[in-house]
Structure 1
């Protein structure tokens, strides 16, 4: 989403596909709703000790003959002296010009967690073991918040969650605004520094072992909220308060995949 894009344009439906555990390899499945900007696919596994390679293909159909086009071919290789990843596209039976990524962090015998994040014209894979994504997590806002700025938090809710909080703090480490999801009573609310809670009247869209995306759009007079692509209203903050905010802090029963400020 571009900084100035209106949250009212976000689609009403955001399909969360149930996770699949211990699939038989090779594994083929349909991606509900297809791939579109903002879609995430997470892959978790272990590289066998004697592995030569493995691949993940995002393809246009599941037929065997003729072979469908492959929009994204992700192929880590371990049988050379320098493990690397090959990425390519198969169109009308022909491979296109490949891209090679050296120095891949994947290792034989090691577990991995990869997130594929799809944009309008690109896909980004992340190896999700960065200490920068450990919870609680914080990110600096050197210039505070200004109209058009977007904060995006993506992650996975843990199996037995209690709560999730996203706090915005000023230079005095006070928290003028906090977004809190309570899994106990299944409520989502804005919480003020004085403990006042304003419930967000919307379906509770956080679910155990499911992905989520929280998006905050700063605009004149406050913040607009979207969760999993659905606009959920706004909270009022004057411009001086927005400009004084210097930190985003995230905590709770989640595993983070992406924090963008």
Structure 2
């Protein structure tokens, strides 16, 4: 190739975006290549038993408050009528409630498959393979570059498709198929070796799902002599987080308790000079002090408690 030769632009079909498994809600992500006619977004999840409302936004920019930036908003909600009566699912699109649409067949505790198929002027929505509704965009589709998911929802997978692989013959609307998780659940208790210890800049990532009736969650780091210099413990009985020292001394973490039954979570431990910095579901929760020599001597990461594990990365 000569130095002055120009490269052809990469076609949209080659802008690949991998599926996302078990994101922590609220979840906001960039849509690679933006939205265009023919693109699909698939959402697979479960409605919690006591869910009141969840929301899926296709918006301009990565805002956690997208009311003013969302050209196409789909809000799935339940409005309870009383303490003992059941809720009637409704839907709002483009900022206006539409009671004339068919009843949304999503019940608490049930799994669902939600599919958005984007056309030139409108988006079509299906629920569990059945066409549910369609509505026109408020702003040009070319301006949409972000997906946001909020509220009472357990998301198992999100997929971004540039073409429709499910069309058969002249079918107008794809049937859709659930994603298969590429990684198996990890056994709990879980142990991982740290052959080189920890060093500044290293990050430990733990992702999982809290069980329905949890008791506790423990993440501990052990050295070569099987001592435990530091432990992070979450107690669901009193909804507290704390660092536990090698001598059993508890140092409470003054922060909101962000573990919830049947909700996904993400724990991040950032190693820095002088200790470990903690973040839970993207929210920083402070740090604990550890000497550099202690960090370098750590050889094992252990995780136990009332959780299902999907990812342990370091």
- Is this a same-fold pair by TM over 0.5? yes
Aligned to 2:184: 129
Equivalent position of 2:199 in the other structure? 146
Shift in alpha-carbon separation, 1:88–1:191, aligned structure 2, 3 A: closer
Q: Which residue of 2 aligns with 1:89?
A: 161
Post-superposition offset of 1:251: 0.1
Q: Per-residue deviation at 1:239?
A: 0.2
Task: Give distance in 1, aligned partners of 2:310 and 2:215.
Answer: 19
Closer, same or farther: CA 57–222 of 1 in aligned 2, 3 Å:
same
Q: CA deviation at 1:127?
A: 3.6
Note the C-alpha offset of 1:89: 2.9
Note closer, same or farther for the CA distance 1:33–1:221 as it changes in structure 2 (3 Å cut).
Answer: farther
Q: d(CA) in 1 for partners of 2:286 and 2:234?
A: 15
Which secondary structure does the structure 2 equivalent of 1:242 belong to? helix
Aligned residue in 1 for 2:294: 241
Residue matched to 2:254? 201
Cα distance in 1 between the residues matched to 2:249 and 2:223: 18
Report the Cα offset of residue 257 of structure 1: 1.1
Q: Which residue of 1 aligns with 2:47?
A: 20
Gaps of 5+ in 2: 1-23, 29-44, 63-109, 125-133, 146-158, 166-177
| Separation in structure 1 between the aligned mates of residue 300 and residue 179 of structure 2, nearest angstrom | 27
Does residue 227 (structure 1) correspond to residue 283 (structure 2)? The answer is: no
Contact persistence 1:160–1:208 (CA under 8 A): yes
Following TM superposition, by how much is the alpha carbon of 1:157 offset from its aligned partner in structure 2, in angstroms? Answer: 0.5
Equivalent residues in 2 for 1:175-194, closer than 5 Å: 175-194=228-247
What secondary structure is seen at the aligned counterpart in 1 of 2:243? Answer: strand
Instruction: Give per-residue Cα distances to partners, 1:101-126, cap 9 Å, x unaligned.
Output: xxxxxxxxxxx995xxxxxxxxxxx4
How many residue pairs align between the two structures?
182
Provide the C-alpha distance between the structure 2 equivalents of 1:241 and 1:233, rounded to a whole number of angstroms.
Answer: 19
- SS class of match (1:255): strand
For 1:43-54, list aligned pairs within 5 A. Answer: none
- Aligned with residue 303 of structure 2, among 250, 253, 258: 250
- Computing the radius of gyration from Cα coordinates, the structure with the larger value is 2
In 2, the alpha carbon distance for the partners of 1:205 and 1:256 equals 17
- RMSD (Å), alpha carbons: 3.8
C-alpha displacement of 1:129: 3.0
Counterparts of 2:58 and 2:229 in 1: how far apart (Å)?
Answer: 38
Alpha-carbon separation, structure 1, partners of 2:311 and 2:266: 9
How does the TM-score come out when normalised to structure 1?
A: 0.59
Preserved CA contact (<8 Å) 1:15 1:33:
no
In the alignment, which residue of structure 2 is the partner of 1:83?
A: none
In the aligned structure 2, how far is the partner of 1:148 from the partner of 1:167? 19
In structure 1, runs of 5+ residues without a counterpart are: 1-12, 23-28, 37-43, 46-54, 72-86, 99-111, 115-125
Shift of 1:56: 7.3
**TM-score with structure 2 length normalisation?**
0.50
